Amino acid sequence: MASKQRGIKKTTTILFVVTILMFGFGYAMVPLYDAFCQITGLNGKTQRVTEGAGEASPLIDREVRILFDSNVNGDLPWRLKPSLKSLKVQPGKFYDATYTVTNMADVPVVGQAIPSVSPQIASLYFKKSECFCFVNQVLEPGETKDMLVRFEVDQDLPKDVGALTLSYTFFRAKGDNS
């Protein structure tokens, strides 16, 4: 009987520990997911580089078309438009593109742009040295602003990708209650 009680105690203890570990595993899925996205390009997050940091390699003769897209999320009273619909670029060279944003509200609003590149695999080769999405954007009531993104497409972009879409969605920045 005593050994039975000991067995029950042991089983129960182990199972409680497993329960707590699995609760932790739920949280561990957050960094795991981030790592997974970084490796595969899942969720289309773009890469950040410093211009001229890497060694420049000779340009190859190839053209990739970039399509620009914009969205505004939910209740954010902003208007966002790319100045160009599309642009032909040569991989390995830096280009500038601008987006025009307008605050339609009569109060200052803070927004945050989140980029996404499609097809997902291309997001691993889409590198930005400057972007309005690196920081929060504050717009005064009625203000219109041209915002810059400076990017290059890596020369290693898979051959079957002939065009890619760069999309920005503006969200209300966390902590902005206007």
Partner 1 sequence: MSTVAHEHDHHHAPTGLKRWIFSTNHKDIGTLYLIFSLMMFFIGGAMAMIIRAELFQPGLQFVDPQFYNSMVTVHALIMIFGAVMPAGVGLANWMIPLMIGAPDMALPRMNNMSFWILPFGFALLISTLFMNGGGPAGGWTMYPPLVLQLGDAFPFLIFTVHILGVSSIMGAINIIATVFNMRAPGMTLMKMPLFVWTWVITAFLLIASLPVLAGAVTMLLTDKYFGTSFFNAAGGGDPVLFQHIFWFFGHPEVYILALPAFGIVSTIIPTFARKPLFGYASMVYATASIAILSFFVWAHHMFTVGMPIKGELFFMYATMLIAVPTGVKVFNWMATMWKGAMTFEAPMLFSIAFVILFTIGGFSGLMLGITPVDFQYHDTYFVVAHFHYVLLTGAVFSLMAAAYYWLPKWTGYMYDEKLAKIHFWLSTIAANVLFFPQHFLGLAGMPRRIPDYNIVFADFNMISSIGGFAYGISQLLFVYIVIKCALGGKKAKAQAWEGAKGLEWTVPSPAPFHTFETPPKLTKSMLEN
3-state secondary structure 95-131: EEEEEEEEECCCCCEEEEEEEEEECHHHHHHEEEEEE
By the rule CB under 8 A, 120 interacts with partner 1 = yes
**Interface with partner 1 (CB under 8 A), residue from 72, 101, 109, 112:** 112
Q: What is the DSSP letter of 133?
A: G
**By C-beta, is 16 or 84 nearer to partner 1?**
16
Cα–Cα dist 130/169, whole Å? 17
Pattern of binders to partner 1 over 73-102, x per CB under 8 A?
A: xx----------------------------
| Binding segment toward partner 1, per CB under 8 A, in 21-29, 47-55, 64-72, 154-162 | 21-29
Chain-centroid distance of CA 177 in Å reads 23
Cα–Cα dist 49/130, whole Å? 8
Shortest approach of partner 1 to residue 72 CB, angstroms? 12
By the rule CB under 8 A, 134 interacts with partner 1 = no
By the rule CB under 8 A, 37 interacts with partner 1 = yes
By the rule CB under 8 A, 155 interacts with partner 1 = no
| Binding segment toward partner 1, per CB under 8 A, in 93-101, 122-130, 140-148, 170-178 | 170-178
**CB 166, CB 118: distance < 8 Å:** no
By the rule CB under 8 A, 16 interacts with partner 1 = yes
Cα–Cα dist 80/40, whole Å? 29
**By C-beta, is 31 or 58 nearer to partner 1?**
31
Which two structure tokens, joined as six digits, stand for 87?
Answer: 């642009």
Kindly state the helix (H) or strand (E) to which residue 66 belongs, with its residue range: strand 64-72
Residue with tokens 């890469």: 47
Write out the residues near partner 1 by the rule CB under 8 A: 4, 7-8, 11-12, 15-16, 18-27, 29-30, 33, 37, 40-43, 73-74, 112, 114, 120-121, 169, 171-175
